[in-house]
Homo-oligomer: A and B are copies of this chain.
Amino acid sequence: MTPTITAFEHSPDGGQGLARDTRVRWAFEEVGQPYKVHLVSFNAMKEPEHMARHPFGQIPTYEEGNLVLFESGAIVFHIAERHAGLLPAEAEARARAIAWMFAALNTVEPPILDRATTWISEWKEPWCEQRLRLVDDRIRDRLGDLSTRLGSADWLDGPFSAGDLMMVSVLIRLRSSGILDEYPNLSAYVARGEARPAYRRAFAAQLAINAGKQPA
């Protein structure tokens, strides 16, 4: 059975690939599995039908038969566990790849999300600009450590894995900030991720829905 995911009917980013369905699309493309997409409006996301799929009324979700999942991290992991291509077969390498997934979502993404939230929700506040500088320094703390660990390697731990998929997806959110440019090896890392044919197909698929629509 082909799984169905949900995505924004109108993505707030107008198709820049920042919505979290892109991560899930990318995972499907890496493992060569087809998927269907069910688009939901902002209103529909908060209605009972969708809240039954996703307790927090967000996208993406994953449905396959009776199984309903939410959280992009969990969905990418579910795909990676069931199909070859995103997790190493060797047990210790697999555990380390999973650690990088959690690191992307729980250590690197929070200050990056804070930046986005401050921009979107606090731009009218008198403190916005000053606070963004504090948040940017917190982001730099993470990126500095990540840059040191990556060094001159192509990927975080051996071949490309779901850990890299998630880390690149999180770092892409910094594209418009210019902060990533301060870390040439991280910029190159993100560019390597974006150059993967699977990412390009995922990006094109979400853009096809949003192209020509105004960002919300």
Contacts and interface: CB of A to CB of B under 8 A. Distances in A.
A103 interface: yes
Given A95-B67, A127-B131, A106 B103 contact: no
Q: For chain A, what secondary structure do more than half of its interface residues adopt (helix, strand, loop), or is it mixed?
A: helix
Interface string A51-79: 10001111000000011111111110110
A107 B56 CA distance: 8
B103 A105 contact: no
Residue from A106, A114, A131 with most neighbouring chain B CB atoms (10 Å): A106
How many protomers of this protein does the assembly include? Answer: 2
Contacts of A55: 103, 145-146, 148-149
A56 B69 CA distance: 30
A142 interface: yes
A178 to B, nearest CB: 22
Nearest to A106: B105
A134 interface: yes
Interface stretch (A34-42, A118-126, A182-190): A118-126
A113 interface: yes
Contact of A73 (B78, B106, B126, B142): B106
| Range class of the A interface residue count | 35 or more
Contacts of A121: 134
15 contacts: A56-B103, A56-B142, A67-B96, A69-B96, A72-B106, A74-B101, A74-B102, A77-B102, A106-B109, A110-B113, A122-B131, A125-B130, A126-B127, A127-B127, A131-B131
Given A67-B96, A71-B99, A73-B102, 16 more contacts: A55-B146, A56-B103, A56-B142, A67-B95, A69-B95, A70-B99, A71-B107, A72-B102, A102-B105, A106-B106, A106-B109, A114-B117, A125-B127, A126-B127, A127-B127, A131-B131
